[in-house]
Amino acid sequence: MGHDIVYRDATVYDGTGSPGSVVDVAVDGDRIAEIGSVRGGAEREVDATGLALAPGFIDVHTHDDFAAMLHPDMAFKSIGGVTTCVVGNCGMGAAPRDTAWKQGESFHPGASPPHYDGFAGYFSILDAQPPGVNVVALAGHGTIRLDTMGTESSAPTSRQMSAMRATLAEAVEAGVVGMSTGLVYEPGRHATTEELIELTGELTGTGCLYATHMRDEGVGLLDSVAEALAIGRAADVPVQISHHKANGRTAWGLVQRSLALIDEARADGQVVHADQYPYTAGSTILSAVIGWLEPGTGLGSADLVIASCPEHPVWEGRSIDDIAVELDRDPHAAAAVVLAEEPNTTVVIHSMNEDDVQTVMAHPSTMIGSDGLPTLDSKPHPRLSNTFARVLGHYSRELAVFEMAEAVHRMTGMSAEAFGLVDRGAVREGAFADLVLFDEAVIVDRATYADPLRMPMGISEVVVNGTAVAQGGTHSGARPGRALRRSAP
């Protein structure tokens, strides 16, 4: 009896950071059956001579909560090598559903996702209508707070705190891997450190982590890291610092010190990681960053470019500076006009320094996450589909920030361990067959800010749970992904 698939003579990066070695890898059903010199035939033999075979990439920072239902093949992710997405970042989770949709609708104007109850309901929908990638979820503090308290800026009453804890408890029971915060956004920015410590206490002892889009990624970066570490320590849960960066010219260079804070905490035994996307521009909703157009942030109106504006698509791809000239207003007033026209406008923000990006990437606490916003009908940040190929091709091969084996580790084995994903992120006998076959001499990103949906090159085949979903840059339409609930600690 032969195997389902055998990759012959692949250079296998197993996800642990060990150097590649040339072996055969056999897949049976949804698992890796055998690694070594595989005898006998297979239903499908793949000559992988000269190609790298790695665990499928785990995108630990996504906003694909609703995309997993509305664009279920998830081709924009899997063609780029991603086999698992962690959704629910930056305080925006998938449940409670109606509140979550209020926050998520800006990425999917006009769509109508299914209804469900709580995270148990969300996972059931994904079970019944599987996406093309595996989905892991974080509960979102902002969603929970908005659901309980609306946009109140005051501290929660004890009754409101109990209600928020109950909502979070449902998520934990259903199998989320942690809670995220978005402390620059409404309504997360109203939460004090005390509120967050109390709520995060619900995660203690569960194996869940605390992920955070911090309060200030500019000149307040160090205080923000200190706050994240304090919350993790008080609740005794691991900390995941989202999209670690220093935002705005006045903050450039601060990552040296924020990384030192992480080193100190790790030396003290705290579990702390960060994620990063490999670009010097960020992306978010315009309403969250309009204040950056004030003097003193080191950002200018030329640095802010409209990514998606469904009510006024001709503005997509143009800077606030440019629109201000057209409207004959100052940049702040022009941005206000854009927001009045379309409150859900998203932007690309050229706010980072290349040295900082490489310094953060080289640090052992950093794993890779795209933070892509799935606004597929507009001009999303190219990180959405090209993050992993860019890290492998540009930062590892071309710039030698780290070895290929280490680059693969930062997007597979390290990520699976931090998020508690069992038998994922590894090329190992018995592990799930989430695999990416690529040419390490060729792989690189191709998307640009002007043409952001071009898919990366050099990725030959992507397999999820033993089923090929993409070959030669084309998606098969297969949807073998699963909702992955947290395993017992």
Report the alpha-carbon angle 217-223-225, nearest 5. 70
Residue 305 C-beta: closest distance to Zn ion, Å: 18
Nearer to Zn ion, 213 or 475 (CB): 213
Residue 234 C-beta: closest distance to Zn ion, Å: 22
CA-to-CA distance for 171 and 122, rounded, in angstroms? Answer: 10
End-to-end CA distance of the chain: 38
Q: Does 288 bind Zn ion (CB under 5 A)?
A: no
- Within 250-279, the residues that bind Zn ion by CB under 5 A are none
Nearer to Zn ion, 213 or 381 (CB): 213
Residue 214: name the closest of 237, 238, 167, 246 by CA. 246
Residue 243 C-beta: closest distance to Zn ion, Å: 6
Nearer to Zn ion, 91 or 480 (CB): 91
Residue 182 C-beta: closest distance to Zn ion, Å: 6
| Cis before 452? omega within 30 | no
How is residue 478 written in tokens?
A: 């297969």
Residue 71 C-beta: closest distance to Zn ion, Å: 21
Nearer to Zn ion, 3 or 213 (CB): 213
Report the alpha-carbon angle 151-147-208, nearest 5. 115
Q: Does 92 bind Zn ion (CB under 5 A)?
A: no
Among 38, 46, 90, 196, binds Zn ion (CB under 5 A): 90
Nearer to Zn ion, 55 or 93 (CB): 93
Among 3, 71, 213, 409, binds Zn ion (CB under 5 A): 213
Stretch that binds Zn ion, among 76-84, 89-97, 197-205, 423-431 (CB under 5 A): 89-97
| Cis before 109? omega within 30 | no
Q: Does 215 bind Zn ion (CB under 5 A)?
A: no
Helix or strand holding residue 21 (H, E): strand 21-28
Nearer to Zn ion, 90 or 289 (CB): 90
Encoded amino acid at 279, one letter: Y
How is residue 203 written in tokens?
A: 């995660």
Beta-carbon contacts of 326 under 8 Å, excluding residues fewer than 6 positions away, are none
Stretch that binds Zn ion, among 86-94, 156-164, 417-425, 437-445 (CB under 5 A): 86-94
Helix, strand, or coil here: 432? strand
* DSSP bridge pairs for 42: 3
Nearer to Zn ion, 46 or 90 (CB): 90
What is the binding site for Zn ion (CB under 5 A)? 90, 213
